Amino acid sequence: MSTPPRVLTVAGSDSGGGAGIQADLKTMLALGTHGMSVITAVTAQNSLGVQGAWELPAEAVRAQYRSVVDDIGVQAVKTGMLATAELVETVAGLLAETDAPAVVDPVGVSKHGDALLAASALDSVRTKLLPLATVATPNLDEVTQLTGVRVESEAGMRRAALALLEYGPRWALIKGGHLPGEPVDLLTDGTEEHWLRAPRHDNRHTHGTGCTLASAIAAHLAHGRPVVAAVTAAKEYVTGAIAAGFPLGGGIGPVDHAWALGR
């Protein structure tokens, strides 16, 4: 029996199971990879929001990462909630020593608007983490946090992407789902542009979309696909997961990570 591609997520735990480590591992399984995890923070979280968050010590994060990478190895790494400047810099140092593509989801706030990254960590994300990213995947709020560019149109997405690329990622994926009209994402390396469009589904159960998209990109990269093909396939996967999203609890439910398994 052959070993599936291995993907490592470095992110926070979502006790409600819709985002974070839990969403990442479900996505990785659905896309035919072996998911592994480095937990950076524990959240008390449900469909209504985040009630509490506690980051792990840097040495615990470093020990988890080295334990996995040194023995099992990885074909791709995805980062999510890193919470503090110390954890951002710790993870950046580990990524710099890892020969695998890295998908950086610069998680700043939750779907409910809860802060998941200290303001003091933004400069570390810009200068330490983004230069190591194969693909950086900010949403519109996060790209404004990082670059100061406020996006209100597709032209603004292009300006934001170019500003983000100045920090060093190979590719920027600006997620435009919060703009009116059909959801559109812009993938660019500063030379070529790919506008990825999808229908907007009448479904408010979208918790975990950012984590799911970044993990899907990492899974496709681990399969050996080039960046444009990996991001395009990941966009298709997350669009289907949104369409199949389901109610859970009293607030925003999750996307359905298993939607494609029956095809």
- CA-CA distance, 131 to 128, in Å (whole number)? 6
Closest by CA position to 9, among listed 32, 37, 33:
37
Sign of CA dihedral 209, 91, 21, 36: positive
Whether 211 is a known active-site residue: answer yes
Choice among 210, 239, 245, 253 that is catalytic: 210
Cα distances (angstroms) measured from residue 100 to each of 73, 104, 171, 187, 194? 9, 13, 15, 20, 23
Which positions ≥6 away from 62 have C-beta within 8 Å? Answer: 90, 94
Whether 175 is a known active-site residue: answer yes
Whether 98 is a known active-site residue: answer no
Choice among 27, 90, 188, 209 that is catalytic: 209
The order of strands in the sheet holding 102-104 is: 49-55, 34-46, 6-14, 76-79, 102-104, 135-136, 171-175, 184-188, 193-197
Closest by CA position to 143, among listed 210, 85, 208, 76:
210
Whether 209 is a known active-site residue: answer yes
Choice among 206, 212, 232, 239 that is catalytic: 206
Collapsing DSSP states into helix, strand and coil, what is residue 9?
strand
**Residues 136/128, Cβ–Cβ less than 8 Å:** no
Choice among 40, 175, 177, 239 that is catalytic: 175
Choice among 208, 212, 245, 253 that is catalytic: 208
Choice among 108, 176, 188, 211 that is catalytic: 211
Catalytic residue numbers read 175, 206, 208-211
